[in-house]
Amino acid sequence: MLSLSGYAITELPDVFENLKHLRYLKFSYTHIKCLPDSLCTLYHLETLLLNCCFMLQSLPSKMENLVNLHYLDIRGADAIERIPFRIDKLTKLQRLTDFIIGEGDGCYIRGLKYLSNLKGDFRLSGLENVNGEDAGEAKLNEKQGIHRLVLHWSEKFEKASRNKEVEEWVLDSLRPPKKLEQLVIQNYGGAKFSTWIADPSFKNMLSLELHDCKNCKSLPSIGRLLLLKDLSISGLDQVHKIGAELFGENQSNAFASLESLRFDNMLNWEEWDLCEDDEQVSKFPSLRFLSIRKCPLLLGRLPTILQSLQTLEIYECQRLVVSISSLPLLCELRVQGCEELVDEGSLSVQKVTSLKAVSVSNISNFNISAERIMLRFANSETLDISGCKELGSLSQIGLRLVGHRFITIADCPQLVSLETEEERLQLDKIPGVESLNIRNCERLNRLPEALHAFPLITRIQLESCPGMVCFAESNFPPALKELTIGNCVNLQYLVDEKENNNKSANSNTCLLERLEISYCPSLIWLSSRGDICNRLQHLQIMDCSKLSSLFLNAKLPVILKQLFIWDCPVLECIAQDFRETIDLESIGIRGAEKIKSLLRGLDKLSHLQEI
């Protein structure tokens, strides 16, 4: 056994003649460009692993000498342009991950008929170089051990050698074995799919993927594959309508087992007719996951009756109306860019579940009543709202902060507040929020005053909110440990000093451990007192051009461990000395030219590792 996996080697010595008893070679994840000819003298070699050798350009020409080879793995070795001639002599091969047919080598595919022991995953590449007669001689249907098959044509459709009729003949001739479980077809250039793809005799077929078959105008009757669980379709540029043909003749039983359905990058797809008025047509009874991405012309509505659907993803389908009215088990909703989001309340309160994760962005019309939002969205574990141009507050659409664990709000230029006056005065249950992330909200000028009553918040991130000038100390959540602020161009202080003077000395003790501030050109100092951050262990400040001091009392937090200050050109003093900050491990200062010297007490920092 010899393994050089992961080593940064570019070539191998030609010494394999002296290693004739080797049975296992692994060169995966190396930079080798070629294999020495002496490797072909390893007559006892059984396993050769070359996966992810992305610079490997070819295999040795005499590989037919490796008569005992059982396993050849060249996944991810994408620079290899062809499989060697006479590889069909390796009749003991059980795993061959990729059979690559180079230009002018189309007849090589005939040799597959002699590799009768192939099993597991198998990929046929370079099929644009093959004709139908040679493909038929491969006897692919006799390889009963193959469970997953990838049929791959070149992505270069503009090549003069590409011929629709020939590629249809090739696909017809590459009918796989009936025990096949997974089929992937990539870059096929024919105008129609072979009928065998939807043949119900494939009783073990669990997964089907059709990608970038840019000349196909319609889909096969995939609904006839009764055990199919996963279906993924993408890049079919000529498909304008998907309708009854998808189900096949036995429409009442079509897609009985389908659990996951994905459409992606269907640029000209306009209509999805699911024949919902026909009671004989299956309604995807087992579908749990539906994803539609980058289908900009798709009109109308989604299927209205998906009783088992748990996850719905819609991205960049600007003309689509997304209705969740009849999705009683929906747990995760992710919608980015659609015409309208609708919940008409057709299901009673008793028949719907509250969503666990909600992400909505760039929706032209948010057509859900506040009552339904409270029912479906109010207790979602994750709430992510972005691109809602008219949103002034969460309460405007019936939402509150208290019901969620992780909240992200971004790109809402009219957002002024996260709460209403009533919410400031009344919290009917203990808020469960743990993380609050706000980005690109231009008019937001303060965080909620009620945050001091949120006992579980440990992390707040604030980015590109120019309305923020400072924070209120008394409103820091009591368990807050990490605060990140970036590109808040009008932020002058971390803490509102006027507000502090009006509060009693018994204000919340801050547990903040990590503070990072960057690109805040108006920041002058953090606080007039150091005790606001007396638990701080990590302090990082970058690109704050007006920062003149950290704490006006010139003291650092006692248990500080990491201190990094970059590009703060007017900062003159960090602290009077370091003698009280005995736990410091790292100090990094760059672009702070006015700091004339480091401070007293450096010799007392017994834990200091770098400066």
Q: pLDDT for 6-15, tens place per residue?
A: 888 888 878 7
Q: pLDDT for 57-104, tens place per residue?
A: 999 989 999 999 999 999 999 999 999 988 999 999 999 999 999 999
**Between 283 and 445, the higher pLDDT residue:** 445
pLDDT at position 46, please?
A: 95
**Region 574-603 average pLDDT:** 72
pLDDT at position 440, please?
A: 96
51 pLDDT more than 90? yes
| Range from 259-268, 287-296, 450-459, 497-506 carrying the lowest mean pLDDT | 497-506
pLDDT at position 418, please?
A: 80
3-state secondary structure 168-201: HHHHHHCCCCCCCCEEEEECCCCCCCCHHHHCCC
How many whole angstroms separate alpha carbon 465 and alpha carbon 490?
8
Query: Structure tokens of 312?
Result: 């719905």
Strand partners for 359: 334, 384
**Region 137-143 average pLDDT:** 94
Q: Where are the domains of the chain?
A: 1-100, 381-457, 458-611
How many whole angstroms separate alpha carbon 375 and alpha carbon 377?
6
Nearest Cα residue to 118 out of 137, 153, 90: 90
429 pLDDT more than 80? no
- For 109, phi then psi, to 5°, come to -65, -20
* Residue entry with tokens 């007392």: 604
What's the pLDDT band for 384 if we cut at 50, 70, 90? very high
Domain 458-611 has CATH 3.30.300.160: no
Architecture of the domain defined by 1-100:
Alpha-Beta Horseshoe (3.80)
pLDDT at position 509, please?
A: 56
| Residue 476 one-letter amino acid | F
pLDDT at position 394, please?
A: 81
Q: pLDDT for 243-296, tens place per residue?
A: 888 887 766 778 999 999 999 999 999 999 876 666 656 678 899 999 999 999
Q: Are 4 and 26 in contact (CB under 8 A)?
A: yes
Beta strands in 252-301 (DSSP E): 260-264, 271-272, 289-293, 300-301
| Range from 121-125, 318-322, 507-511 carrying the lowest mean pLDDT | 507-511
pLDDT at position 425, please?
A: 42
How many whole angstroms separate alpha carbon 581 and alpha carbon 598?
14
Strand partners for 340: 321, 365
**Between 363 and 382, the higher pLDDT residue:** 382
174 pLDDT more than 90? yes
528 pLDDT more than 80? no
Q: Are 510 and 473 in contact (CB under 8 A)?
A: yes
pLDDT at position 505, please?
A: 39
For residue 418, what are the contacts with CB-CB under 8 A and spacing of at least 6?
393, 394, 401, 409, 444, 447, 448
**Region 184-201 average pLDDT:** 95
Q: pLDDT for 204-245, tens place per residue?
A: 999 999 999 999 999 999 999 999 999 999 999 999 999 888
How many whole angstroms separate alpha carbon 409 and alpha carbon 386?
6
pLDDT at position 278, please?
A: 63
What value does the mean pLDDT of the chain take? 86
| Range from 414-418, 471-475, 599-603 carrying the lowest mean pLDDT | 599-603
